[in-house]
Amino acid sequence: MSKMCGIMGYVGNGNGIHATLVGLKRLEYRGYDSVGVGYKKGGDLVIKKCVGRVEDICRRLIPSEDHSTIVISHTRWGTHGKITDENAHPHADCQGKIAIVHNGIIENFQDIKEFLSKRGHQFKSETDSEVISHLIEEYLKTENSFEEACKKAFSMLKGSFAILALASGEDKIVGIRKDSPLVVGIKENESFIASDIYALLPFTKEFIFLQNYDFITVGKGVVKIENLKEGKVERPVEVIDINLEYDGKEKYHHFMIKEIMEQSEVIDRILEKNNGKIEVFSKEISSAKKVFLVGAGSSYHACLYGSYLLTKAGIDSKPIVASEFKHFEKLIDKDSLVIAVSQSGETADVIEAIRIAKKRGAKIFSIVNVYGSTVMRESNDYILMNVGFEVGVAATKTFTSQLIIFLLIYKSIMGEGFDGRELQSKILDLLGRSRREFMEKVVDYLKEKDHVFLIGRGLSFISAEEAALKIKEVSYIHAEAFPGGELKHGTLALIENGTPCIVFVDRENKDEILSNAHEVKTRGGFIIGISPERDEVFDIWIKIPEANEELTIMQVIPIQILAYLLALKKGYNPDYPRNLAKSVTVK
């Protein structure tokens, strides 16, 4: 069983249960199928865990008066095996005196389990993680201290892990990271540890970003770090001051719609911080012998967009889905520039691609949203999207900001000016209330449908790909995108009376794509046209402003809104779609 989860710990004078639950809520984007908290109460270790969200554990299991100064906690996203109370974290040892939370995968857990079973350990869950608490228990028999037992246990593990452990007799939390993130937050008399700074921002502005094999012992306001490979190490304390003013949902019912609406501000936010960097990237891209773009999900679609623009600028570039990157390894060498695109900066497939490329001698540039993330840290240079946290699982404002960054790079390479105000007013137009009201019509048509096809050519095909992903992610309607000319090579067989087809029309490909729309309509298809101009083939027309290279932004925003409204109509929570997580930290 592998997981990709959020973890948080607290040691201090205050109520750590309350603090970790606040942090966990902010980590739910990493997974939210089950949740758990482990804490010391008197001399005992208490573990509360259940299937569900943070509010479920609060309501069902944790009495509001419960108080503890040493706490570990976890929010989980299971990829294999069942989502059950037993499989939720924390996991205890046989005697219930040690508890651990884990993010990552223990690849050799079967061997460890066998070793431990022979020594009489009994397991309660099906998880790989549970071996960790039992391994610590086992080594406590021979080692002098809890820290030494943890060290020995951690050094046996293969795979990726961020782990926190506590024991009933200890007044500290012990932890380690390898290929899964862990950040320490510092305050007088209090220490916090979490998967990312987002969880910790309500508590502190001072952070230590841990590196692979950093082993930490955390007490009240005291943090000891030792690297299991390098010995004693000093890690800098970084001050990160992020405005939390726009942090909540504000007047919106969901983060997704709040983040969609924030797209009118992304241009200012990008320009505010990154002007110089755009020039650096442009120069480097123009002079590189080979350019590769790598990303996953929506960020991969942004790579397609970037590559399209670079091709237009006469620069050869190859977009590669991060999880497939290793198959292209031979193409990468010291003359290569790899541009990694990632909102979270923690997507495991992207990190792996970066590491492969680095080994081959390539230079790594990245476009990331989360400051301090692994992708940012492992890159030679980076551009920050600077658009604030994105909580909704479906990428919206960060996708648009990735596109704008590529657009700025393209304009800089071409020596063309960029009219930010004009683009902003077009985006504002697309976000207007009347547009959203109009979209209800489309929602009514699509809500009962099982399938929707999307077609476009050139840049519009990239829009179709991203739009299909938005619809699938939050409304669970099967949505599939094709280049307009490709439909007739097979998929046309699926068109029946009333099958919806969203057609993205642009100036350059107008005649051909409209003719593809006719091919669908002739077979009974229902055509939803996204276009600056009306056409008789459209059954519903979604009007968008005229656009050049910013076309994809114009075409995708209406579908973000459509996907959001569809999710609501079907009774789903668009912020937390089933089976998904925002940051996929497993391969």
Catalytic residues: 5, 582
Smallest separation, CB 163 to ligand G6P (Å): 23
**How near is the Cβ of 560 to ligand G6P at its closest, in Å?**
12
Residue-wise burial string across 171-180, b where 16 or more C-beta atoms lie within 10 A, e elsewhere: ebbbbbbbbb
Contact status: 374 vs ligand G6P (CB under 6 A): no
299: contact with ligand G6P by CB under 6 A: yes
Of the candidates 298, 307, 401, 552, which one interacts with ligand G6P according to CB under 6 A?
A: 298
CB 78, CB 43: distance < 8 Å: no
Residue among 453, 460, 422, 424 nearest 308 (CA): 460
Q: Count how many residues are written for the chain.
A: 587
* Position 475 contacts ligand G6P (CB under 6 A): no
From the CB of 70, what's the least distance to ligand G6P, in Å? 32
Whose Cβ is closer to ligand G6P: residue 3's or residue 582's? 582
| Structural contact between residues 499 and 522, judged by C-beta atoms closer than 8 angstroms | no
Q: Is 395 in the site for ligand G6P (CB under 6 A)?
A: yes
- Member of 336, 583, 585, 586 binding ligand G6P (CB under 6 A): 583
Query: For ligand G6P, which is the closer residue by CB, 40 or 301?
Result: 301
Beta strands per DSSP E along 77-213:
91-92, 98-106, 159-167, 173-178, 183-187, 190-194, 206-209
CB of 183 to ligand G6P, least distance (A): 16
Query: Near ligand G6P by CB under 6 A, which window of 10-18, 252-260, 270-278, 290-298?
Result: 290-298
Nearer to ligand G6P, 374 or 509 (CB): 374
- The footprint of ligand G6P on residues 563-582 (CB under 6 A) is 580, 582
* In the complex, least distance from residue 415 CB atom to ligand G6P, rounded to whole angstroms: 30
Residue closest to ligand G6P (Cβ): 297
Q: How many CA within 13 A on the CB side of residue 413? A: 22
Contact 128, 1 (CB under 8 A): yes
**Closest distance to ligand G6P from the beta carbon of 364 (Å):** 14
**The tokens 């938005």 sit on which residue?**
470
Shortest separation between residue 579's beta carbon and ligand G6P, angstroms: 10
Stretch that binds ligand G6P, among 182-190, 232-240, 339-347, 527-535 (CB under 6 A): 339-347
Nearest one of 133, 55, 148 to 98, comparing CA atoms: 133
Instruction: Return the residue of 34, 217, 264, 342 that touches ligand G6P, per CB under 6 A.
Output: 342
Binding flag, residue 340, ligand G6P (CB under 6 A):
no
443, 571 Cβ separation under 8 angstroms? no
Q: Which is nearer to ligand G6P, 83 or 580 (CB)?
A: 580
Strand partners of residue 173: 218
Q: Identity (one letter) of the amino acid at 517?
A: A
Contact set for ligand G6P, span 42-101 (CB under 6 A)? none
**143: exposed, middle or buried (Cβ count in 10 Å: 0-12, 13-18, 19+):** middle
d(CA 208, CA 187): 12
Of 320, 353, 393, 528, which one interacts with ligand G6P (CB under 6 A)? 393
Question: Among 343, 366, 531, 555, which residue sits at the site for ligand G6P (rule: CB under 6 A)?
Answer: 343
Give the shortest CB-345-to-ligand G6P separation in angstroms. Answer: 7
Q: Residue 342 forms beta bridges with which residues?
A: 368
Q: Which is nearer to ligand G6P, 129 or 347 (CB)?
A: 347
Contacts of 248 (CB under 8 A, 6+ apart): none
Using the contact rule CB under 6 A, the part of the chain among 16-24, 186-194, 286-294, 343-351 near ligand G6P is 343-351
Contact 306, 407 (CB under 8 A): no
297 binds ligand G6P (CB under 6 A): yes
User: Would you say 25 or 582 has its CB closer to ligand G6P?
Assistant: 582
| Residue 556 engages ligand G6P in binding (rule: CB under 6 A) | no
State the minimum distance, in angstroms, from the CB of residue 343 to ligand G6P.
3
Contact pattern for ligand G6P over residues 192 through 231, marking x by CB under 6 A: ----------------------------------------
**CA-based max dimension of the chain:** 81
Phi, psi of 493 (to 5 degrees): -60, -20
Nearest to 219 by CA among 10, 7, 8: 10
Residue 96: how many other CB atoms lie within 10 Å: 13
If one counts every other C-beta atom within 10 angstroms of the C-beta of residue 440, the result is: 12
Classified as helix, coil or strand, 515 is helix
Q: Is residue 532 within 8 Å of residue 389, measured between CB atoms?
A: no
Pick 465 or 506: Cβ nearer ligand G6P: 465
**Cα–Cα distance for residue pair 116/308, rounded to 1 Å:** 54
The closest of 450, 428, 78, 389 to 245, measured between CA atoms, is: 389
| 282 touches ligand G6P (CB under 6 A) | no
- Which residue in 75, 180, 204, 347 binds ligand G6P (CB under 6 A)? 347
Could you tell me the two tokens for 160? Answer: 């990726």
> By C-beta, is 350 or 391 nearer to ligand G6P?
350
What is the rounded CA–CA span in Å between residue 277 and residue 92? 48
Residue closer to ligand G6P by CB (options 134, 397) is 397
Amino acid at 307: S
Name the residue among 73, 71, 93 with its Cα closest to residue 146.
93
- Interface region with ligand G6P, contact rule CB under 6 A, candidates 112-120, 143-151, 388-396, 484-492: 388-396
Tell me how far, at minimum, the Cβ of 577 lies from ligand G6P, in Å.
8
| The binder of ligand G6P chosen from 350, 362, 513, 556 (CB under 6 A) | 350
Q: Single out the segment in contact with ligand G6P by CB under 6 A; choices: 104-112, 151-159, 336-344, 567-575.
A: 336-344
Using CA atoms, how far apart are residues 400 and 398, in angstroms rounded to an integer?
A: 5
> How many residues form the binding site for ligand G6P (CB under 6 A)?
16
To ligand G6P, the closest distance from the beta carbon of 236 in angstroms equals 25
Q: Which residues bind ligand G6P (CB under 6 A)?
A: 296-299, 342-344, 347, 350, 393-395, 580, 582-584
